[in-house]
Structure 1
């Protein structure tokens, strides 16, 4: 029988990229949802369902008629985890593109229920978090004892994503967060401690700043020997970094923490990227650097990825795991990517999508 995939929030840039990846790499029928009517998709395997997540009965019915549910309806900062709950009730596998620890914490609380139900639920899929987490896992597997993870992310312009991603960025500036440093939790302010990092071409040396990501706390849990997890983010062109720094550190907190302030900054930023995308591109770069002990000596291993479209790369990260679930991969419970996906399967799906990751020991 033909498998069915339900993509909540499937009309957005990320959701539509996930849908395109699944259609390209599987035989599944895909239903995308949105809150308002839309033009019917041209592809015969794509269907549209008008659905608001507040419509519980309609949501439950849509989930019960699916084999895999992919939650792309962000921002996730204030989402509850009821979609996972309904998937557990109906025995349906689950993925999401969530990117904030508050949602991840809510989702992971359903782990035991998912184990009992026999469903596989994987959170934080996409490019970062997502592919980046699997890059970290691969790096850690090279060591006798891994100690420090340093993740750096760079997005050019809009990244090919919509205004929702802009909202996610500014929502991430609202509050200090806990980071795992020297084997203990320490409070860090977002968009501080600029660091210049060497990314592959065409980006080269670029500035990145502390940014709150769910892998900041999921990676220490997955890999107990880790003493430091550093997650930093930056933009191209560099003047976006300075504008974001001003928003995080100069603007009144009451303004950046208001819904109006976030909406204003998000929409202005998105309009600016409409202009700058023409020369900056919409690509993404990820650098995962792990340090530790190898053969009794200190060593550092690095993996890097560059893609010319951030949204498509995110779609590949999520779509590849959806493909595995549709093909029968199972690990009952709720997991972040680094705990759910073996490196062998990760490399297999990246190869099939022609996403190249460079791995090398640093001098």
Structure 2
């Protein structure tokens, strides 16, 4: 029997691209879930091995039954996988991961909010005891970006500073959930690892102009609260981790900066306000996407030493569709779990679990080009 994959939230923009990636690169039986059958016909035709079922994550009994059902009539049940794509993850608890651990099913997610990542990592010992491999933050950023950091660190003998910069054009091809994530990230100052200690940083502050590859060029980026801000210093002995984000067109940066700077924090902690901002922003990007595109660019710079001399390792990525790139990140990790190439019981951020050799092979197979260089700075 075929291996099985359950994609929670698989009808969304990112979830549907994860499904498409798996349909193209594996022979797994794929089940996509959503809250209603009403819109199931909107799912692209990915073949007879992809089906849709209705599932609300608040229905714990049905969630358990569906995950338990993955193990039925499966010849390789220990390699079946649940993929959690049902964000925004700021509002999610650990029930999906906990159920996977209880049922002995491997787990992957596209989580992008630090609060959820912390909740997930708290299950590490339980997952290890159950022999379940759970990989969090596997999309594009966090996700591919984290593996680019690991790749760059491994180019050096020692690493001191990691500077991660991201830019997304318009909506990035994603849905309103991504807009929610952006505004949820403005709610309060977050802790950044700077000079070997945790320091409070205001989101969307300290604009910095960074040189991205064509067609983006020099663009402004701002401090942003992402899981990488704490998972990277946990995984690697570095002194500083900088995480900055920006958008194209640039006037979106000004609007987001204005909200972060001038709006009262209590407003940004109100769900109705987040929904208003998210839907207005999504409406605006529907207009500007036709001019800006929906791509993504990532720039990684790691400073340290090589052969006893100061050096910098750089990695860059450009993709024309942010959601497709996220699908490639999550799809490739899931493919490795299905094949048994990746087996690391416990709960791990992607940079802790995925060896660089497997990462580069997966990106090459999906035509995701990552350019890397090493510069001696002495």
TM-score (ref. length: structure 2): 0.94
Q: 1:129, 1:116 → 2: CA distance?
A: 26
After TM superposition, the structure 1 = structure 2 runs for residues 1-363 of structure 1, keeping only pairs within 5 Å, are: 1-37=1-37, 38-40=39-41, 41=43, 42=45, 43-66=47-70, 67-224=80-237, 226-328=238-340, 329-362=342-375
Shift of residue 255, structure 1, vs aligned partner: 1.8
Shift of residue 361, structure 1, vs aligned partner: 2.0
Residue 244 of structure 2: SS of its match in structure 1? Answer: strand
Q: Any idea what the Cα deviations from partners look like across 1:189-228, whole Å, max 9, x if unmatched?
A: 000000000000000000100000111001111012x000
Shift of residue 57, structure 1, vs aligned partner: 1.1
Residue 368 of structure 2: SS of its match in structure 1? Answer: coil
Q: Any idea what the Cα deviations from partners look like across 1:26-52, whole Å, max 9, x if unmatched?
A: 001111111111334532111111000
Query: Could you tell me whether the CA contact under 8 Å between 2:11 and 2:40 is conserved in 1?
Result: no
Q: 1:62, 1:206 → 2: CA distance?
A: 45
Q: 2:113, 2:285 → 1: CA distance?
A: 23
Tell me, which stretches of 5 or more residues in structure 2 are unaligned?
71-79
Shift of residue 78, structure 1, vs aligned partner: 2.3
Query: Could you tell me whether the CA contact under 8 Å between 2:160 and 2:304 is conserved in 1?
Result: yes
Residue 73 of structure 1: SS of its match in structure 2? Answer: coil
Q: Any idea what the Cα deviations from partners look like across 1:308-335, whole Å, max 9, x if unmatched?
A: 0000000000000000001012111100
Shift of residue 240, structure 1, vs aligned partner: 0.3
Q: 2:162, 2:18 → 1: CA distance?
A: 28
Q: Any idea what the Cα deviations from partners look like across 1:86-107, whole Å, max 9, x if unmatched?
A: 1011110000000111111111
Alpha-carbon RMSD: 0.9
Residue 111 of structure 2: SS of its match in structure 1? Answer: coil
Q: 1:254, 1:334 → 2: CA distance?
A: 33
Shift of residue 252, structure 1, vs aligned partner: 2.1
Aligned residues: 362
Q: 2:186, 2:266 → 1: CA distance?
A: 12
Shift of residue 64, structure 1, vs aligned partner: 1.5
Q: 2:276, 2:93 → 1: CA distance?
A: 25
TM-score (ref. length: structure 1): 0.98
Residue 39 of structure 1: SS of its match in structure 2? Answer: helix
Deviates more, 1:246-255 or 1:175-184: 246-255
Deviates more, 1:153-162 or 1:294-303: 294-303
Q: 1:100, 1:164 → 2: CA distance?
A: 12
Residue 5 of structure 2: SS of its match in structure 1? Answer: strand
Residue 90 of structure 2: SS of its match in structure 1? Answer: coil
Deviates more, 1:185-194 or 1:105-114: 105-114
